[in-house]
Structure 1
Amino acid sequence: MQMQRLRHIGFIILGIALLFGLFLLYLYLKPLPPPDLPMPSKIYDDQGKLIGQMQAGAQSEFVPLHRLPKHLIQATLAAEDESFYHHFGFSVRGIARAIWTNIKAGRITQGASTITQQLARNLYLTQDRTWSRKIKEAILTLQLELHYNKDQILEMYLNKINYGNGAYGVGKAARLYLGKDASKLNLAESTFLVGIPRGPALYSPYHHFERTKKRQQHILALMVEDHMITQSQAHEAAEVVIALTKPKKTTEMRAYYFRDYVLQRLVHKYGLEPEYVQSGGLHIYTTLNQQLQKQAETAVQRHLSSADSLQGALLSVDPHTGEIKAMVGGKDYRKSQFNRIFAKRQPGSTFKSILYLHALQQGYTPSTQIMSRPTSFAYEGGVYQPANFQNHYPNRMINLREAIARSDNIYAVTTLFQVGINSVIDLAQRLGMKSPLQPTPSLALGSYAVTPYELTEVYSTIANYGVHHDLTGIKRVVDANGEELLREHSKGTPTVSPAHSFVLTRLLTSVFEPGGTAYRVRQLFDQPAAGKTGSTDWDGWITGYTPNLTTTVWVGYDQNRKLPHIKTRAAQYIWGDYMDQASKRQKQRLFPVPAGVKSVRIDPETGFLATPFCPHSTQEYYVAGTEPHQTCPLHPVPSSTSPSQKPWWRRIFEWKLW
Structure 2
Amino acid sequence: MDDTENKERPVVRPLTRWSKLRRRIGWMTLFALLALAGTGALLLRYAPLPAGATMQSTRIVDYDGKLIASLQGGVNRQIVKLSDISPWLVKATLAVEDRRFYEHAGVDLHGLARAAWVDVRHMSKQQGASTLTQQLARNLYLSHERTWTRKLKEAWYAARLEQTYSKNEILELYLNQIYYGHGAYGAEAASKLYFNKPAKELTIAESALLAGIPKGPRYYSPHLHPTDSQARQRKVLQAMQETGRLSKEQAALAARRTVNVRPLPEEEERAAPYFADYVKKIVIDQIGIEERLLNEGGLTIRTTLDGRMQEMAEAAVKKGLKGGNPELQTALIALDPRNGYIKAMVGGRNYRNNQFNRVFASTRQPGSSFKPIMYASALEEHAVTPATRFRSEPTLFYFDHDRQIYRPSNYNDRYFNGEIGMRQAIAASDNIYAVNTIMQVGPDAVISMARKLGITSSLKAVPSLALGTFPVSPFEMASAFSVFANEGRRSEPIAITSIVDRNGKVLYESHPRQEQVLSPALSYVTTGLMESVFDRGGTAHRVANLLKRPVAGKTGTTDSDAWFVGYTPELTTAVWVGYDRGRSITSSEAHRAAPIFAQFTESALEGTPPHVFPMPEGVVSVYVDPATNLLASPQCPGQAVLETFLSGTEPKESCAPLGGSSDGRDEDGSGNRSIWSKFRRWVGV
TM-score, reference length from structure 1: 0.86
1:429 aligns with 2:455: no
Q: Cα offset for 1:484?
A: 2.6
1:333 aligns with 2:351: yes
Q: Is contact 2:543-2:598 (8 Å) kept?
A: yes
- CA distance in structure 1 between the aligned counterparts of 2:543 and 2:466, rounded to whole angstroms: 25
Alignment of 1:231-250 (within 5 A): 233=247, 236-238=250-252, 240=254, 241-248=256-263, 250=265
Quote the residue 1:627 is aligned against: 650
> What's the secondary structure of 1:197's corresponding residue?
coil
Offset from partner CA, 1:447-473 (integer Å, 9 cap, x none): 221110111000001111110001112
Alignment of 1:426-505 (within 5 A): 426-505=448-527
Offset from partner CA, 1:110-169 (integer Å, 9 cap, x none): 224443453455457765668998899789778867876554443232123232355433
- CA distance in structure 2 between the aligned counterparts of 1:496 and 1:140, rounded to whole angstroms: 66
> What's the secondary structure of 1:533's corresponding residue?
strand
Quote the residue 1:651 is aligned against: none
1:11 aligns with 2:25: no
Q: Is contact 1:315-1:456 (8 Å) kept?
A: yes
2:260 aligned partner, one-letter code: T
- CA distance in structure 2 between the aligned counterparts of 1:256 and 1:57, rounded to whole angstroms: 17
Quote the residue 1:346 is aligned against: 365
Q: Is contact 1:64-1:155 (8 Å) kept?
A: yes
Quote the residue 2:387 is aligned against: 367
Quote the residue 2:602 is aligned against: 580
Q: 1:399 is matched with which residue: 406, 413, 421?
A: 421
Quote the residue 1:528 is aligned against: 550
Q: Cα offset for 1:540?
A: 0.2
Residues 399 and 140 (structure 1), Cα distance of their counterparts in 2 relative to 1, 3 Å cut: farther
Q: 1:304 is matched with which residue: 306, 321, 346?
A: 321
Of 438-447 and 90-99, more deviation after overlay is shown by 90-99
- CA distance in structure 2 between the aligned counterparts of 1:74 and 1:177, rounded to whole angstroms: 19
The number of residue pairs the alignment matches comes to 638
> What's the secondary structure of 2:283's corresponding residue?
helix
Quote the residue 2:244 is aligned against: 229
Q: 2:188 is matched with which residue: 171, 183, 187?
A: 171
> What's the secondary structure of 1:28's corresponding residue?
coil
> What's the secondary structure of 2:649's corresponding residue?
coil
Quote the residue 1:652 is aligned against: none
- CA distance in structure 2 between the aligned counterparts of 1:53 and 1:635, rounded to whole angstroms: 75
1:233 aligned partner, one-letter code: S
Residues 578 and 214 (structure 1), Cα distance of their counterparts in 2 relative to 1, 3 Å cut: closer
Q: Is contact 1:188-1:238 (8 Å) kept?
A: no
Q: Cα offset for 1:401?
A: 1.7
Q: Is contact 2:478-2:565 (8 Å) kept?
A: yes
Q: Cα offset for 1:565?
A: 3.0
2:418 aligned partner, one-letter code: R
Alignment of 1:379-394 (within 5 A): 379=400, 382-394=404-416
Q: Is contact 1:61-1:172 (8 Å) kept?
A: yes
Residues 549 and 5 (structure 1), Cα distance of their counterparts in 2 relative to 1, 3 Å cut: closer
Residues 390 and 99 (structure 1), Cα distance of their counterparts in 2 relative to 1, 3 Å cut: same
2:327 aligned partner, one-letter code: S
- CA distance in structure 1 between the aligned counterparts of 2:75 and 2:23, rounded to whole angstroms: 65
Q: Cα offset for 1:475?
A: 2.3
Q: Is contact 1:41-1:277 (8 Å) kept?
A: no
- CA distance in structure 2 between the aligned counterparts of 1:544 and 1:88, rounded to whole angstroms: 69
Q: 1:262 is matched with which residue: 279, 304, 309?
A: 279
Q: Cα offset for 1:19?
A: 5.8
Quote the residue 2:11 is aligned against: none
- CA distance in structure 2 between the aligned counterparts of 1:612 and 1:132, rounded to whole angstroms: 104
Residues 281 and 516 (structure 1), Cα distance of their counterparts in 2 relative to 1, 3 Å cut: same
Residues 268 and 175 (structure 1), Cα distance of their counterparts in 2 relative to 1, 3 Å cut: closer
> What's the secondary structure of 2:547's corresponding residue?
coil
Offset from partner CA, 1:375-394 (integer Å, 9 cap, x none): 13232673332222222333
Runs of 5+ consecutive residues of structure 2 not aligned to the other structure = 1-19, 662-676
Of 266-275 and 102-111, more deviation after overlay is shown by 102-111
2:303 aligned partner, one-letter code: T
- CA distance in structure 1 between the aligned counterparts of 2:165 and 2:376, rounded to whole angstroms: 63
Q: Cα offset for 1:504?
A: 0.8
Offset from partner CA, 1:528-562 (integer Å, 9 cap, x none): 21111111111100101122221111100112311
- CA distance in structure 1 between the aligned counterparts of 2:597 and 2:197, rounded to whole angstroms: 43
Alignment of 1:492-641 (within 5 A): 492-616=514-638, 617-632=640-655, 637=660
Quote the residue 2:115 is aligned against: 98
Q: 2:374 is matched with which residue: 331, 345, 355?
A: 355
Quote the residue 2:294 is aligned against: 277
Q: Is contact 1:530-1:545 (8 Å) kept?
A: yes
- CA distance in structure 1 between the aligned counterparts of 2:148 and 2:656, rounded to whole angstroms: 99
Residues 567 and 174 (structure 1), Cα distance of their counterparts in 2 relative to 1, 3 Å cut: closer
- CA distance in structure 2 between the aligned counterparts of 1:146 and 1:452, rounded to whole angstroms: 59
- CA distance in structure 2 between the aligned counterparts of 1:371 and 1:131, rounded to whole angstroms: 92
1:623 aligned partner, one-letter code: L
Quote the residue 1:118 is aligned against: 135
1:80 aligns with 2:80: no
Of 67-76 and 198-207, more deviation after overlay is shown by 67-76
Quote the residue 1:653 is aligned against: none
Quote the residue 2:5 is aligned against: none
- CA distance in structure 2 between the aligned counterparts of 1:431 and 1:333, rounded to whole angstroms: 30
- CA distance in structure 1 between the aligned counterparts of 2:428 and 2:196, rounded to whole angstroms: 60
Aligned-pair identity (%) = 42
1:28 aligned partner, one-letter code: P
- CA distance in structure 2 between the aligned counterparts of 1:40 and 1:428, rounded to whole angstroms: 37
Q: Is contact 2:551-2:566 (8 Å) kept?
A: yes
- CA distance in structure 1 between the aligned counterparts of 2:177 and 2:231, rounded to whole angstroms: 24
- CA distance in structure 2 between the aligned counterparts of 1:565 and 1:445, rounded to whole angstroms: 19
- CA distance in structure 2 between the aligned counterparts of 1:295 and 1:632, rounded to whole angstroms: 49
**Structure whose alpha-carbon radius of gyration is higher:** 2
Q: Cα offset for 1:175?
A: 5.2
1:11 aligned partner, one-letter code: F
Q: Is contact 1:405-1:511 (8 Å) kept?
A: yes
Quote the residue 1:252 is aligned against: 269
RMSD: 3.6
> What's the secondary structure of 2:573's corresponding residue?
strand
2:655 aligned partner, one-letter code: C
Q: Is contact 2:551-2:567 (8 Å) kept?
A: yes
TM-score, reference length from structure 2: 0.83
Residues 57 and 506 (structure 1), Cα distance of their counterparts in 2 relative to 1, 3 Å cut: farther
Q: Cα offset for 1:431?
A: 0.9
> What's the secondary structure of 2:180's corresponding residue?
coil
Quote the residue 1:68 is aligned against: 85
Q: Is contact 2:522-2:646 (8 Å) kept?
A: yes
Q: Is contact 1:352-1:444 (8 Å) kept?
A: yes
- CA distance in structure 2 between the aligned counterparts of 1:604 and 1:420, rounded to whole angstroms: 27
- CA distance in structure 1 between the aligned counterparts of 2:196 and 2:427, rounded to whole angstroms: 59
Of 476-485 and 450-459, more deviation after overlay is shown by 476-485
- CA distance in structure 2 between the aligned counterparts of 1:269 and 1:93, rounded to whole angstroms: 56
Q: Is contact 2:428-2:539 (8 Å) kept?
A: yes
- CA distance in structure 2 between the aligned counterparts of 1:494 and 1:65, rounded to whole angstroms: 52
Q: Is contact 2:222-2:261 (8 Å) kept?
A: no
Q: Is contact 1:376-1:384 (8 Å) kept?
A: yes
Q: 2:126 is matched with which residue: 73, 86, 109?
A: 109
